[in-house]
């Protein structure tokens, strides 16, 4: 596999993980009582159902290329009023990040157990790292991210009102801190690499894969 092949592997894997993430949201929402997700076409693995070409693919890949932070990309419109209870509302939010975590673990373990060419190994290792990074990022309790969505049903009305107002700008502040404040970015990636190794990943291979993916740097 060439350098270009690794680049395409990561992009294709990212699109697949985006689909799995959003399907996870939709599947749990359907089980929880939001049957509209079926009529909206969310209960399938067609990435076109979950994406906007620019917001869901181009921008996340651009940020990934320049900084290595996998921004959230897809979207599933959930009717949370249709969900049976607060537990289903929480698990609907958690389903997406947990899908990324599971996908990352499967990739990390597969790389360790299955003999494969070096280029494929480092490419899949980097893709696995991105899944763990996506999990860590999305699980943060910041309005607009899935981690906040998981705790929102249990907050007071005043807190939920504040969260609704903060939702449009809170993720932007977080991303700005990750990019502009070295200590914040370093803490984030330290947590990502720690969890990645706990899940069985090889940090060295992932770093090499990331450097190969960003072949222009």
Please tell me the distance from the alpha carbon of residue 74 to that of residue 80, in angstroms, as a whole number.
18
Compute the chain's Rg from CA coordinates: 17
Report which of 143, 116, 141, 139 is spatially closest to residue 127, judged by C-alpha positions. Answer: 116
CA angle 115, 116, 120 (to 5 degrees): 150
Pair 97, 146: CB distance under 8 Å: yes
Residues marked active site are found at 22
Pair 86, 127: CB distance under 8 Å: no
Residue 36's contacts (CB-CB under 8 Å, 6 or more residues apart) are 79, 82
Report which of 9, 72, 75 is spatially closest to residue 210, judged by C-alpha positions. Answer: 9
């Amino acid at each position: 596999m060439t350098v270009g092949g690794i680049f395409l592997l990561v992009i294709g894997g990212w699109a697949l993980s985006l689909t799995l993430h959003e399907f996870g949201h939709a599947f749990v929402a359907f089980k929880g009582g939001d049957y509209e997700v079926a009529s909206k076409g969310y209960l399938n693995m067609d990435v076109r159902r979950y994406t906007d070409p620019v917001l869901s693919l181009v921008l996340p890949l651009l940020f990934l290329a320049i900084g290595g932070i996998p921004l959230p990309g897809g979207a599933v419109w959930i009717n949370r009023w249709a969900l049976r209870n607060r537990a289903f509302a929480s698990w609907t939010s958690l389903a997406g990040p947990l899908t990324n975590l599971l996908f990352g673990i499967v990739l990390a373990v597969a790389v360790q157990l299955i003999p494969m060419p070096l280029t494929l190994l480092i490419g899949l290792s980097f893709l696995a790292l991105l899944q763990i990074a996506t999990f860590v990022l999305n699980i943060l309790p910041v309005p607009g991210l899935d981690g906040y969505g998981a705790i929102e049903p249990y907050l007071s009305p005043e807190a939920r009102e504040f969260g609704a107002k903060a939702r449009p700008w809170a993720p932007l502040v977080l991303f700005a801190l990750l990019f502009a404040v070295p200590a914040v970015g370093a803490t984030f990636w330290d947590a990502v690499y720690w969890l990645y190794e706990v899940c069985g990943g090889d940090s060295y291979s992932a770093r090499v894969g990331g450097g190969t993916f960003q072949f222009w740097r």
